[in-house]
């Protein structure tokens, strides 16, 4: 009986081991697909499907993993009957079936789900499913659907390449040490307005490759904000969203659906990337104060407006305070 129990445990563990080698390859491919600054508009269509995690499975070459998976199947045959009844598989889960192409999608998914569930329900350490190193928590590429409960001391959170779709008000509650949140390449379409507001230490908020149409209230200490490759519309950004952010230096808003330039901006700003949006016009005072003819924005050296239907020659009095002209069409 003990041997049977051991075998069934082995059968539970091995398919996980088989898939555990997948993410590395998976991640490499994903990183190859991640856009770089300067990529052309054609390569980065808005609402970019390339970054949609649901599609990743399609491009993974599973031929290298057949042996491992078959091994798991043989073990499964030994003791399949002693396993718990199959857990319900939702449509989204079954869509990941290509990653574990054997006849046991039921085997691999609920294990992960079970661990995550228990960490959420019984307060077991998130560090069982994520890797915790010092004050950093790494939860990349583990099919998370929600932000897991985080240790109080978390300063850096990486939860890239998951399936998170919604950020809730309580998700980061009490995390006063949190400096960086990186949720690149999830499916985030909504963020509760207060979800980030009470994070006094937050400096870097990194959200490219999601489906955001708007921004929540942001803490004023943010220095680096990256919301590239989303579905941001001008109506989704509050008129004074950035004004009070007096430490903001880097603002990446490229590859969205913005119809206008979302100022005013704090004087701390050094980089403003707005390429590949739908901006057609700008105000005379978007960057410079029309009456104060001195160089008030020495720091703002990198403005990109290429890939927008705006003729920058039409606004000759808008740039006098800048150390450099914006990148874009001047004809």
Among 92, 94, 311, 317, binds ligand NAG (CB under 6 A): 311
Integer CA distances (angstroms), 209 to 140, 185, 247, 305, 312, in order: 14, 4, 24, 20, 28
**325 belongs to the binding site for ligand NAG (CB under 6 A):** no
154: region left, alpha or beta (phi > 0 left; psi from -120 to 50 alpha): beta
Shortest spacing between CB 309 and ligand NAG, in angstroms: 10
Residue 252-291 contact track with ligand NAG, rule CB under 6 A, x = bound: ----------------------------------------
The 8-class DSSP code of residue 168 comes to: -
By beta-carbon proximity to ligand NAG, the closer residue of 131 and 314 is 314
Shortest spacing between CB 331 and ligand NAG, in angstroms: 5
Shortest spacing between CB 326 and ligand NAG, in angstroms: 14
Shortest spacing between CB 276 and ligand NAG, in angstroms: 18
Which range touches ligand NAG (CB under 6 A), out of 36-44, 105-113, 193-201, 310-318?
310-318
Among 92, 176, 313, 317, binds ligand NAG (CB under 6 A): 313
- Beta partners for residue 191, in sequence order: 167
The closest alpha carbon to 127, from 138, 117, 118, 111, belongs to 138
By beta-carbon proximity to ligand NAG, the closer residue of 156 and 320 is 320
- Beta partners for residue 137, in sequence order: 132, 157
Q: Which two tokens stand for residue 128?
A: 């069982």
By beta-carbon proximity to ligand NAG, the closer residue of 55 and 311 is 311
Residues constituting the chain: 331
Integer CA distances (angstroms), 152 to 101, 135, 231, in order: 39, 9, 32
Task: Give residues in contact with ligand NAG (CB under 6 A).
Answer: 311, 313-314, 331
């Amino acid at each position: 009986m003990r041997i049977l129990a051991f075998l069934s445990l082995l059968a539970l563990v091995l398919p996980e081991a088989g898939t555990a080698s997948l993410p590395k390859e998976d991640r490499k491919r994903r990183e190859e697909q991640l856009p770089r600054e300067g990529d052309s508009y054609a390569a980065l269509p808005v609402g970019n499907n390339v970054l949609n995690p649901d599609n990743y499975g399609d491009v993974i070459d599973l031929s290298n993993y057949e042996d491992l998976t078959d091994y798991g199947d043989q073990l499964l045959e030994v003791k399949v009957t002693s396993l718990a009844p199959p857990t319900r598989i939702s449509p989204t889960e079954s869509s990941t079936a290509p990653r574990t192409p054997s006849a046991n999608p039921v085997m691999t998914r609920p294990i992960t789900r079970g661990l995550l569930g228990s960490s959420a329900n019984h307060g077991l350490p998130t560090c069982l499913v994520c890797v915790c190193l010092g004050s950093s928590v790494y939860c990349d590429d583990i099919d998370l659907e929600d932000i897991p409960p985080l240790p109080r001391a978390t300063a850096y959170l990486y939860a890239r390449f998951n399936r998170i779709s919604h950020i809730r008000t309580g998700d980061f509650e009490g995390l006063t040490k949190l400096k960086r949140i990186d949720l690149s390449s999830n499916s985030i379409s909504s963020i509760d307005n207060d979800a980030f507001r009470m994070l006094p230490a937050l400096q870097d908020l990194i959200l490219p490759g999601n489906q955001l149409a708007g921004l929540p209230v942001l803490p004023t200490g943010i220095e680096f904000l990256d919301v590239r490759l989303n579905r941001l519309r001008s109506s989704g950004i509050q008129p004074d969203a950035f004004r009070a952010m007096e430490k903001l230096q880097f603002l990446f808003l490229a590859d969205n659906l913005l119809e206008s330039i979302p100022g005013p901006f704090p004087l701390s700003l050094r980089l403003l990337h707005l390429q590949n949006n739908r901006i057609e016009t700008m105000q005379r005072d978007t960057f410079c104060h029309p009456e104060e003819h001195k160089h008030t924005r020495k720091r703002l050296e990198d403005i990109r407006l290429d890939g927008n239907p705006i003729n920058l020659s039409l606004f000759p009095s808008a740039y006098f305070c800048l150390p450099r002209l914006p990148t874009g069409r001047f004809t």
